[in-house]
Amino acid sequence: MASESTAQRRRLVVGNWKMYGSRQENTFLLADILAGWEPLAEVDVAICPSFIYLPQVAEALQGSAIAWGGQSLNPDDSGAFTGEVSGPMLADVNSRYVIVGHNERRRLRAETDQFVALQFVAAQRAGLIPILCVGESAEDRAAGNALAFITAQISAVINLAGIDAVARAVLAYEPIWAVGTGKTATPEQAAEVHAHIRQLFGERGEQLTIVYGGSVKANNAAQLFALADIDGALLGGASLNAEEFLAICRHANTAG
Ligand code: 13P
């Protein structure tokens, strides 16, 4: 039963370019990715560049199998919000996804669980698929609070959006201590959290796409993707290298 249901979920690999890139670097990176692309029957792939480069990425990827999306959004659809970007604006450049609740924004921009919930709802209102990031700090893990911390982050969104809406989105488990550090969660640690997240959704959990993020590279991706509850990856550094990115997409296609 579980394996049948797993087969219904497609895998997903998303490159989060964070605040990296330039028009010229992006041109080369996108060209290399497209040149090395092979059709992947089991995987959806997307790239989330800085807002300013979304039209460039959209133009390059138009007609390819690779989608694109934003790294954040404002909860309002429009208004006097200097420096902000809305869900309808992301949709206007044909974005498919938007990342919400990334730990870098939770920490650097003091985004709270409640704010992230508003962003999540705004994303779906605009027809985007939110990629909801959750994950604990090293201190929370050491104190044995990892699962409780993650549950609270997800519950805040479920309380506002409803459990069905969250089950239609993408969850990304990104332990803070593994992001950009070279320390990947062990397969056991990741598997425990992914299984926990899935069971929060009861029956709906079987349809929920849950990806892992945090120092995923071509040389550790296959091991992570082999686990039943890991449906793909949210990549930082590895998405800035065409070879790494393509290799990870291929691992996702052949896993399981
Ligand atoms: P790294 O892959 O560089 O650790 O970043 C992960 C991440 O934060 C993706 O959103």
Beta-sheet strands, E only, within the chain: 11-16, 43-48, 66-70, 97-100, 129-134, 170-173, 209-213, 232-235
Q: Measuring CA to CA, which residue among 24, 35, 49 is closest to residue 239?
A: 49
Catalytic residue among 136, 174, 194, 244: 174
> How many Å apart are CA 50 and CA 80, to the nearest integer?
21
- pLDDT, tens digit, for every residue of 52-103? 999 999 999 999 999 999 999 999 999 999 999 999 999 999 999 999 999 9
How confident is the model over 29-47, as a mean pLDDT? Answer: 97
d(CA 217, ligand 1 centre) in Å: 10
d(CA 69, ligand 1 centre) in Å: 16
213 lines ligand 1 (CB under 6 A): yes
pLDDT at 129 over 80: yes
231 lines ligand 1 (CB under 6 A): no
pLDDT of residue 183: 87
pLDDT at 26 over 90: yes
pTM: 0.95
d(CA 83, ligand 1 centre) in Å: 24
Position in ligand 1 atom list of the atom nearest CA 234? 9
d(CA 105, ligand 1 centre) in Å: 13
Beta-sheet strands, E only, within 174-228: 209-213
15 lines ligand 1 (CB under 6 A): no
Pairing of strands 209-213, 43-48: unpaired
Pocket test for ligand 1, best of 174, 212, 244 (most atoms within 8 A of CB): 174
Q: For this structure, is 102 an active site residue?
A: yes
- Could you tell me if 176 and 193 are in contact, meaning their C-beta atoms sit under 8 angstroms apart? no
Pocket test for ligand 1, best of 234, 241, 244, 248 (most atoms within 8 A of CB): 234
* pLDDT band at residue 256 under the 50/70/90 scheme: low
pLDDT at 1 over 50: no
CA angle 131, 173, 217 (to 5 degrees): 100
* pLDDT band at residue 222 under the 50/70/90 scheme: very high
pLDDT of residue 8: 67
Position in ligand 1 atom list of the atom nearest CA 217? 2
| CATH fourth-level superfamily of 44-208 | Aldolase class I (3.20.20.70)
